[in-house]
Amino acid sequence: MISKDLNLKALASVKTLVILALLAALSVVLERFVGINTPHFKLHFGYLPIALAGMLYGIMPAILVSLVSDVLANLSNFNILFALLAVIEGAVHGIFLYKKMPEKRQMLTQAILCQLVVSLIIHAGLNTLLLWTLYRYFDPIRFLINALTFPVKVFTLYNMLNYRTVFEQYA
C-alpha cells in the first residue's frame, strides 16, 4: 500500500517536476511573506502546497516539496534536524491525503487525522523536543497555538480535498 503511494514514477515527468518546484516556491512565499508572524504566534499557509503535493502525487513528491521549501525558507539558519521534521511532515501529508475518499465525511476524517498527526506528533512533540534538546527552549504557549490553529488547518485541508478533481485536471 505505502509502496504504491511513494509514486516514484511521477518524479520522472518534467511537467510533474516543474509543478513540484512551483509548489515548493509557493510554500516558501506563503510561509515567509503571507500570514501572521509574531514572536509568539505564527499562522501561515506554507503547509498547503506540501499537502497538495501529497494529495496529488503521493509520499515521495510531498517529501521533496517539503524538503526543498524548508531548505529555501531557512537558508540563513538551516538545521538538518529541522529539515528532517519537514520531511516527516511531508510524508504524513502524502500518507494521509493521497488516497481519494468518495464521501465528504471521509474527507473530513482524512483532514482531521492528517492534521492531528502533524499537530500533536510533529509540532507539539518532535519539534518541541528538538527545540529543547538543541537550545534548551521550552514555551508552553506552543501547545495553545497548535490548538488554536488546528481548526483553521483542518478547514483548509478539507476544502483542498473537496476541490481535488479541479486540482487533478492540472496535475
Cα–Cα distance between 90 and 161 in angstroms, integer?
A: 16
Cell of 154: 483542518
> Would you state the pLDDT for residue 5?
52
Q: Strand runs (DSSP E) across the chain, as ranges?
A: 36-37, 42-43
Sign of CA dihedral 97, 10, 50, 6: positive
Confidence bin at 2 (pLDDT 50/70/90): low
The residue among 11 and 155 whose pLDDT is bigger is 155
> Would you state the pLDDT for residue 51?
97
Of 24, 68, 71, the C-alpha closest to 48 is 24
What are the backbone dihedrals phi and psi of residue 170, each rounded to the nearest 5 degrees, phi first? -100, -5
| CATH assignment, 2-170 | 1.10.1760.20
The residue among 108 and 76 whose pLDDT is bigger is 108
The answer to whether residue 11 scores a pLDDT higher than 80 is no
> Would you state the pLDDT for residue 48?
96
Chain-centre distance for alpha carbon 20: 13
> Would you state the pLDDT for residue 10?
67
The answer to whether residue 108 scores a pLDDT higher than 90 is yes
The residue among 121 and 140 whose pLDDT is bigger is 121
> Would you state the pLDDT for residue 142?
85
What radius of gyration, in Å, describes the C-alpha atoms of the chain? 16
